[in-house]
Amino acid sequence: MQGNKGQNTRPELKVRKMLHGLGARYRLYRKDLPGRPDIVMPGRRVCIFVHGCFWHQHENCQLSSNPRKNVEFWKAKFEATRVRDAQSQERLKQMGWKVVVIWECEVGRPAELRERLERILENYPLIDRQH
């Protein structure tokens, strides 16, 4: 498990590269925000979490298997992750941020991912901060 990274994962890098190609600008891992979102677009007030299907237990996904050994440990670990994710996302929403979750399995479908990112950029335009 030591080889599992928390930052700069392959799915994150693919999402970031696609966002950059679409002209979006962003910040990474803002420590001052709940849950330390993977990608933050302050000008749009959007936080993006790129979740691994296994670690965050994406429902009905082939990539989200349950380990056969030490079942109770994993069950508790996954539940704690779900609770932590929900709390972080709720706090962000209360602070006025829009929260988007992109799953690892979505990154494997680049055409669909690109369409989704384009919709996000359309739905959450840059905020005029001059007023």
d(CA 66, CA 89) in angstroms, rounded, equals 24
In a domain, 21, yes or no: yes
In a domain, 96, yes or no: yes
Confidence of residue 131 (pLDDT cuts 50, 70, 90): very low
The model's pLDDT over 69-108, given as tens digits with 9 standing for 90+, comes to 988 999 999 999 999 999 999 999 999 999 999 999 999 9
d(CA 130, CA 56) in angstroms, rounded, equals 39
In a domain, 80, yes or no: no
Residue range(s) defining the domain that contains residue 114: 8-27+55-70+90-125
Please state which of the ranges 2-6, 23-27, 86-90, 121-125 shows the lowest mean pLDDT: 2-6
In a domain, 85, yes or no: no
> With a threshold of 0.75, does the pTM exceed it?
yes
Q: What average pLDDT score do residues 110-121 get?
A: 96
Domain count along the chain: 1
Q: CA distances (Å), 130 to each of 45, 101, 125, in order? A: 15, 29, 15
In a domain, 108, yes or no: yes
In a domain, 59, yes or no: yes
Name the residue with higher pLDDT: 2 or 78: 78
